Chains A and B, each alone.
Chain A
Amino acid sequence: MTTSTPKSTAASATARPASLRGTQINLEHITKDFGLAQPAVDDVTLTIKPGEFMTLLGPSGSGKTTTLNLIAGFETLTSGAITLNNNDVSRLPPHKRNLGMLFQNYALFPHMTVAQNVAYPLRERKVPKAELARRVSDVLELVQLTGRDDNYPAQLSGGQQQRVALARAIVFNPQALLLDEPLGALDRNLRGALQLEIRRIHREVGATFVFVTHDQEEAMNLSDRIALFNDGHIEQVGTPEQLYAEPETLFAAKFLGDSTVFELGDQDVGRSVRWEDRAWGVAEGTVAARAGVLAGSTALLVRPESLSVVRAASDAPAGSNTVSARVRDVEYMGSYRTLLLNVGNSGVAGRARIEATGESFAIGDEVVAWWHPHAQRVVAV
């Protein structure tokens, strides 16, 4: 992986068989202003490719859910345009957009059986009876829920209910499937199982999926690409690998995974940077490409798995960047340990992942942390 603009490499990273069903969704400078201090969605532009699994990730209040509601038509645009396969749907009411949607609380109709729920969109489209029955049973098979046709939603578990909702949302071959934190209400094990399920169904159906979550792990597991939202705008778009390995901003780095953060202030980032009394080499391609990074305030990040810990500076390999640290705590995680460090004179919080079977460190040990210059990342703050 080398530096590049995230958008250009994403295409090759998401190589998948061309699908006839996939719909390209274009968000063109969309803005939604509820009249608060700040627009909920502020001039967001995003292209979602046909058949792509795109996740809108971000903390609560970042605008990701509003963006999804704008695509679905539940909110009206303040400005901008939304197109599906180049048809402008900005002014269409939700029921004419032909988009399936999955909700966090399932939103199954409690007065209808499983079969009636799944048949609902087909009934509204006046699909003939025989075809309707066939499609309902096909899709229930797809979500592995055959034989529960006559149950009412209240008789099903949360996971089963969400499967019914999923079946109902895809049975009418919508242009795309919108998923609004659909796994948020489920317990951890079930969530994992349903993630697999959703991926499988995405592969089999080949439709465009737009998935909203605040759970970075979920986003990493599922997505072809992630659009990271912050304060109503998109912070960064890219594959999970890109977002993790090549964050453009401190926000992106902190939101996806842990890292040790060295604030660099607004010094010039050249071949080397200074931090406290240290000078560290900067490898080519480890500086975020985002415009203005080199001009503004920056920070240097090291992921826990890239940070190694030794007893003395002489144990660190030549050419590595080093800093003194003190072990604050040790977390035993089974296959590995996490050392929580106080780094440098100022005692910045640091994290290093080390082999569980390797040398053990005790709380209070004075150590040296080191990493390869190409394993670090300089980002905008």
Chain B
Amino acid sequence: MSTALDSAEVELAPEVAARPRRRRARKRGIDRVPVWQRVFVTIVALYFILPALIVIPMSFSESSTFQFPPKGFTLNLYERFFTISNSPSTNWLGSLGNSFLVALLAAALATILGTAAALALDRLTGRAPRLLRTLMMLPLVAPSIVVAVDVYVTFLRWHLVGTVQGYVLAHAAIALPFVIVSVTAALGSFDRGLLRASASLGASSWRSFITVTAPLISRGIVTGAVFAFVTSFDEVVIALFIRSPQVQTLPVQMYNAVTSEIDPTISAASSIIVVVVTIVFLAPQLLGAKKRRR
């Protein structure tokens, strides 16, 4: 993953840090977590969260430059963000829309292909499928800039530069590993014997997938889809290469805003990204918690 602006990673971290602590506390029963551990964990958590959260107060600042602590309180930056404009450099709302569209389509594509690939890899044994799995993980470890240049050169030839299809294809490719990993993990606890049962009861393999496999690995599919969405939503390197004045995503516009002129609107844009990504990550957990049975 790119290290440039991964608010997604940043958002996940406190949860990862806090969960083992909670679990251990429960196992120990009456033993209390020592104070120094609580302090340490709090510091680590803040270290991860604060950079992402600091933009939120700044986005309400009256100052026309970046300043911390922020001065005054105004919604001016949000007004500018949400004002429809025909100039590409100030059309924030349009870029946000593009980012949503691209992220949704890329996530859908990556989820379908990734789930299918995970199902296939789960059934196959031997060396070849293992090699295939590793190959499909490559987007995770390949440097973003290398992928971006490759995509750019190829898309020039295919006339996909600056098109929604281009963004979707490129983002789906880098999001694929997340879906494969999470669906494979979900399949690990899936009892394949259930498919024999469904077949004996009259369900074709497609019907078996819809009625048995999909509901039971839905958690993995949803997790993969969320990661795919967020991966696309905040992807900037490839998007920079294949942008066009007509179609650019929000991270690209923010990058432009910082490099050409210091436009404080990006603190509003950043806040919106942080909030959107956080909501996308938390939604399945909040919904899942309500629906959980057993």
Interface residues of A (CB under 8 A from B): 72-74, 93-95, 98-101, 103, 105, 107-111, 120-121, 124-125, 152, 154-155, 165, 168-169, 172, 178
Contact = CB atoms under 8 A, between A and B. Distances in A.
B199 interface: yes
A105 B197 CA distance: 11
B294 interface: yes
A124 B202 CA distance: 6
A169 B203 CA distance: 13
B197 A107 contact: yes
A182 to B, nearest CB: 12
B201 A172 contact: yes
Q: Considering the complex of A and B, which 9 residue pairs feature the smallest CB-CB distances, nearest first?
A: A107-B197, A121-B201, A101-B200, A94-B199, A124-B202, A95-B199, A111-B215, A107-B193, A124-B203
Nearest to B211: A120
Given A94-B196, A107-B196, A120 B294 contact: no
Contacts of A93: 199, 204
Contacts of A107: 191, 193-194, 196-197
Interface in B221-275: none
Interface in B160-199: 191, 193-194, 196-199
A94 B200 CA distance: 6
B136 interface: no
Contacts of B191: 105, 107
Contacts of A178: 200
Contacts of A73: 199
B212 interface: yes
A115 to B, nearest CB: 15
B125 to A, nearest CB: 14
Contacts of B204: 93, 95
B290 interface: no
B45 interface: no
B199 A120 contact: no
Nearest to B218: A111
B293 A152 contact: yes
Contact of B200 (A72, A105, A109, A111): A72
A109 B197 contact: yes
Interface of B: 191, 193-194, 196-205, 207, 211-212, 215-216, 293-294
Nearest to B195: A107
A154 B293 CA distance: 10
A100 B202 CA distance: 9
Which of B196, B198, B202, B212 gathers most chain A CB within 10 Å? B202
Interface of B is mostly: helix
B22 to A, nearest CB: 24
A112 B112 CA distance: 24
B137 to A, nearest CB: 29
Which of A93, A95, A99 gathers most chain B CB within 10 Å? A95
A33 B35 CA distance: 65
A109 B202 contact: no
23 contacts: A72-B196, A73-B199, A93-B199, A93-B204, A94-B196, A94-B199, A95-B200, A95-B202, A95-B205, A101-B197, A101-B200, A105-B191, A107-B191, A107-B194, A109-B194, A111-B216, A120-B203, A121-B201, A124-B201, A152-B293, A152-B294, A165-B197, A169-B200
Contacts of B207: 95, 124
A256 B265 CA distance: 85
A58 to B, nearest CB: 21
B202 A98 contact: yes
Nearest to A105: B193
Contacts of A100: 200-201
Given A111-B216, A152-B293, A121 B196 contact: no
A152 B200 CA distance: 21
A121 B202 contact: yes
Given A109-B212, A111-B215, A111-B216, A120 B196 contact: no
A311 to B, nearest CB: 58
A230 to B, nearest CB: 26
A73 B201 CA distance: 12
Contacts of B212: 109
A172 B201 CA distance: 8
Nearest to B202: A124
Nearest to B204: A95
A72 B193 CA distance: 13
Contacts of A105: 191, 193
Nearest to B215: A111
Nearest to A111: B215
A38 to B, nearest CB: 22
B2 to A, nearest CB: 37
Given A95-B204, A100-B201, A121-B201, 4 more contacts: A95-B207, A109-B197, A120-B203, A121-B202
Contacts of B211: 109, 120, 124
A154 B199 contact: no
Contacts of B200: 72, 94-95, 99-101, 169, 178
Nearest to A94: B199
A108 to B, nearest CB: 8
Contacts of A172: 201-202
A124 B207 CA distance: 8
B201 A168 contact: yes
A95 B205 CA distance: 9
A209 B294 CA distance: 34
